[in-house]
Amino acid sequence: MKVLLKTLGFSLALTLLFTFVTYLLPQVEGEAPVEKVVDLSSLTMDDFIALGEDLFNTKGTCTLCHKPAPLGRAPDIQGMNTVALSNERLADERYQGEAKDAAGYILESMLDPSRYVVATWGKKGTNDSESPMPAIDKPPIELSAIEMDAIIAYLQAKDGNDVTVVLPSPEDAASVASTDKKASDATALPAPATTVEEALGKYACTACHAMDSSDTLVGPGLVDIGTRLSMEDIRQSIVDPNAVIAEGFAAAMPADFATKMTVKELDMIVAYLVEKK
């Protein structure tokens, strides 16, 4: 028993010593990127530049590589005049990109980093034809167009250069959101709708059916559909629209909702319509 206690005591003490070492080191948490809501209607350029700096250091993860020698694995763009540097590269005969100015060059290097690789910074074995930098509008970084503009604004402003990117307006945000959605739709399967409004929009029901009147668009208005059809009939009209067609209407409704809709989405839409009396 004495040996057991001594060996256990030794083992435990050693374990605690290792734990103690972890307490001596800096205690930092690595937060996952948090989507920030920025009120664009009151956004100033200073705010936008500050947002860019924050993105550069956090969500953009730019500082993982872009830091001073000898630690950096990419040019130290925070320590150099980025605009002057961009103009030098635009003038380089190796440059084959499409950018015309510094802002365009910075944006291009974020979206397509291999378009121009600074000498000695390329992937090993590629003779500087390929950059190790990921496209930052794609996973795992996924910056939006506005976020990239903010970073450009920061990189321009930090050395006293004129900021040439335009401050985003609420309309731009809507446009970006729409673009993002389109891009997302193109590359990903749509996420399930969480509300009935989303579901109606997702399946474009309102493109053919008026929900708040009996007006006929392509299909009949549904303002009082709950008085005309039972829950089961409504469900059947969605999943198998050609089973019973309303009098005077052609068989124009898509027949593939049964395979496209999730059960939850179908239930939401049916419950919503059955209440329309």
Angle subtended at Cα 86 by Cα 141 and Cα 73, rounded to the nearest 5 degrees: 50
Asked if residue 173 lies in contact with residue 100, where contact means CB atoms within 8 angstroms, the answer is: no
Instruction: Give me the 145-184 binding string for another protein, x by CB under 8 A, dash otherwise.
Output: ----------------------------------------
State the distance between the two ends of the chain, measured CA to CA, in whole angstroms. 82
Rounded to whole angstroms, how far apart are CA atoms 272 and 266?
10
Q: Which of 38, 40, 65, 118 binds another protein (CB under 8 A)?
A: 65
Phi/psi for 119 (5° steps) reads -55, 135
Q: Which of 5, 22, 96, 160 binds another protein (CB under 8 A)?
A: 22
User: Contacting another protein (CB under 8 A), which of 5, 19, 39, 41?
Assistant: 19
| 69 counts as binding another protein under rule CB under 8 A | yes
**Total site size for another protein, rule CB under 8 A:** 56
Check residue 11 for interaction with another protein (CB under 8 A).
Answer: yes
44 phi and psi angles, rounded to 5 deg: -100, 170
37 contacts another protein (rule: CB under 8 A): no
Query: 10 Å Cβ neighbour count for 183?
Result: 12
Q: Assess 96 for contact with another protein (CB under 8 A).
A: no
Binding to another protein by residue 143, rule CB under 8 A? no
Could you tell me the smallest distance in angstroms from the CB atom of residue 24 to another protein?
9
Kindly write out the interface string for residues 242-271 of this chain, putting x where it contacts another protein by CB under 8 A and - elsewhere: ------------------------------
Nearest residue to 136 (alpha-carbon basis) of 55, 68, 48: 55
SS3 category, 89: helix
Q: Which of 87, 121, 172, 210 binds another protein (CB under 8 A)?
A: 121
Least distance between another protein and beta carbon 19 (Å): 5
**What distance in Å separates the CA atoms of residue 212 and residue 208, rounded to the nearest whole number?**
12
Task: In whole angstroms, give the CA distance from residue 276 to residue 122.
Answer: 63
| Those residues with Cβ within 8 angstroms of residue 193's Cβ, 6 or more apart along the chain or in another chain | 199, 201, 202, 265, 268
Applying CB under 8 A, does 14 fall inside the site for another protein? Answer: yes
Phi then psi for residue 10, to 5 deg, are -60, -45
Which of 166, 177, 191, 246 binds another protein (CB under 8 A)? It is 191
| Chain positions contacting another protein, by CB under 8 A | 3-4, 6-8, 10-12, 14-16, 18-19, 21-23, 25-33, 61, 64-65, 69-73, 112-114, 120-121, 123-124, 129-135, 138-141, 186-189, 191
